[in-house]
Each structure stands twice: as C-alpha cells, then as structure tokens.
Amino acid sequence: MKLFVSGRPAWVSIGLTLAGTALFALLPLWLSPYGVRVGQLFVLAAGLAVAWTVLGGFSGYWSFGNAAFVGTGAFTAALLQLALPGWPAGSAFALALVVAMLFNGLLALAIAWPILRLRGIYFAIAMLGVSQVCFELVSNIDALRGALGVNLIDIVPKGVRPERFYYWALLLATLIVVLVAIMVRHSKLGYGLLAIREDEDTARMLGVPTTRYKMIAFVISAMLTAMMGVIYAHNLGYITANSVYRGDFNLNVIVYSLLGGMGTIIGPIVGAGIMTYVTQVLLGDLLDTHMFITGLLIAVLVLAAPNGLYGIYDNHRLRMRRRKQEAQR
C-alpha cells in the first residue's frame, strides 16, 4: 500500500495528533484517580471508534460486531500468557500482544471473503452474528475459559500507579490507531475506500479493486481493535467472556462516529469525548435513568446534526468562505 503522507493535509494531521497526544499524556499528573479512570474510558473509546472507522467510516461498511475482535484479542493474549509460565511479564505481554493482533488479522481474513460480499444492513447483521458466535464459543468451550475467567499477568512497572500506567498504555495504543488511520485515509487505499462508500458499483467499473480494498481495511480494523482489546483486558486484570465481548462496544463505536462525524478521524474522537463526559461525569449518579437520557441525547443530536458535529463545523466553514468570496467581488 503506497502512502501519500508527504501531502500537507496528512502531515498537518500527524502533527496535530502528536501534539494532542503529548498534552493528554500530562493529564494524569494533575487528575484525581477517578479522573484518570474516566480518561482511560475516553482513550479506549476513541481508539476503538477510530479503528472501526478504518472500515465502517471510510468504506461505509458498518460493522455491528467489532466486539468480536476486542474479546478474541483479549482471550488470545490471556491464554497465551497462561502457556508461558515463568516468562518475564514484559516479554510475555509483548509476545501475546503481537500474536493476538496477528490471530485477529487471520480471523478477519478468513471471514472477509464471504461476509464482505454482503452490503448495508445485511453486512451489519452478519457481523453481529460473528460477535455472538465468538462469544458462545469462548463461553462454552472449557479450554478457552470464557465462563471460568482468566487472570492476566501484572505488567505495571514498580513505582507507577496502575491507573496512570494503563491510561498511558491506552493512549499510546490510540495514538498508533490514529496514525494508521491517517496513513490509510491519505493513501490510494483510502481514496478507494471513499469511492466504495459513495458508489461501489461505479468504483469497480472505474478500476478500483473493491474486494481487495475492503479486505485490507477489514484486516487492519480487526488488528487495531484487537490491540485495544488486549490492553483493556490487562487493565481489568481478570476477564470473562461477558467482560470483553460486550454488546455496548458494538453500538458505542457507531454512536461516537455519528455524533462526531462519520467518515472522519477527528469525529469519532470528539464523539467519544462527549459521550464519556456525559455518561461518566454528568450522569454518573443517575444510573436508573442513565440509558434513557443517553439515548434521548443521541437521538436529538443525530436528528439535529445528521452529519455530526464535524458536519456542522464544515457547513459553517463553507458559509464563511462563500461570504468572504462574495465580499471580495
């Protein structure tokens, strides 16, 4: 895949991403432990949402089953670590992370050919089925320990607070996800995915290898999601099938993208930040009405801004440009 990252938009995006990451890395030094925990949830949500965007946002193939890759990545790493007793924690974690990403890439490749032949709601439902099948297999096969649960090794260095360590680990993983998404977006692959989103049949007629591009995006999205899942599992310390094959993962990544701006990279991050603040801070004490208020807020925002907050900003920018051009005439 040839990357056109020498263009100004790509380098600007990379520069802003690195600067933003540096600022966010300093937050745990001032935040309370609860604030750091909320920050972990935000960074995790942002990473998962951008990983989903590589396929769902760029190509328009909405997946309702990305929890399959979160859970499979987590259990692959956990079971491999059980098979490596006596290994140093850092080495075992690094090996498990790489193997989990590769295994999920192979899993995505195996199901890509039949499942990517579906479109629209059929693809979304099929992916939901994949997620449920993975959950049932892990839950019911004793060797996979989904019902009993698995303890993961402690990888927190001595002298570092666990909440800060996992915040920084999730932040680093999210940085990798965002940088990969930027490179995909500004590559030949990215332009091909956008063409598929607009009109797949026309894109194929114009010579875009639609099947191959979708498969590549699917594999990249799965591997990035698995990376986030492995770190999330270590943050939990003890996982069961229910704790990592979470149905809300499937829905939330779409909500974040819709709220912030579907098909963009900054949009899912903004959407994740807003929803994390609303659910964990504003509505943290309203557990009984939490889902109702959240759902109502999402419905209002989506109806008021069908293209997300980025769409509002983009429309405002276009109006200001037109006014400036009219004033110069």
> Which residues, in sequence order, are bridge partners of residue 187?
3
- Alpha-carbon span 157 to 319, nearest angstrom: 52
Residue 107 in this model has a pLDDT that exceeds 60: yes
Domains of the chain: 8-328 (1.10.3470)
pTM for this structure?
0.91
Question: What is the Rg, in whole angstroms, of the alpha carbon atoms belonging to the chain?
Answer: 20
* Stronger pLDDT, 6 or 202, i.e. the higher one: 202
**Quick one: pLDDT at residue 18?**
94
Residue 5: pLDDT band by 50, 70, 90 thresholds? Answer: very low
Give the number of other Cβ atoms within 10 Å of residue 29's Cβ.
8
For residues 168-186, give the mean pLDDT. Answer: 96
Q: What is the 3-state secondary structure (H, E, C) of 163-220?
A: HHHHHHHHHHHHHHHHHHHHHHHCEHHHHHHHHHHHHHHHHHHCCCCHHHHHHHHHHH
For residues 133-157, give the mean pLDDT. Answer: 93
pLDDT tens digit string along 93-103?
Answer: 999 999 999 99
Per cent of the chain over pLDDT 90 is 69
**Quick one: pLDDT at residue 73?**
96
For residues 277-298, give the mean pLDDT. Answer: 73
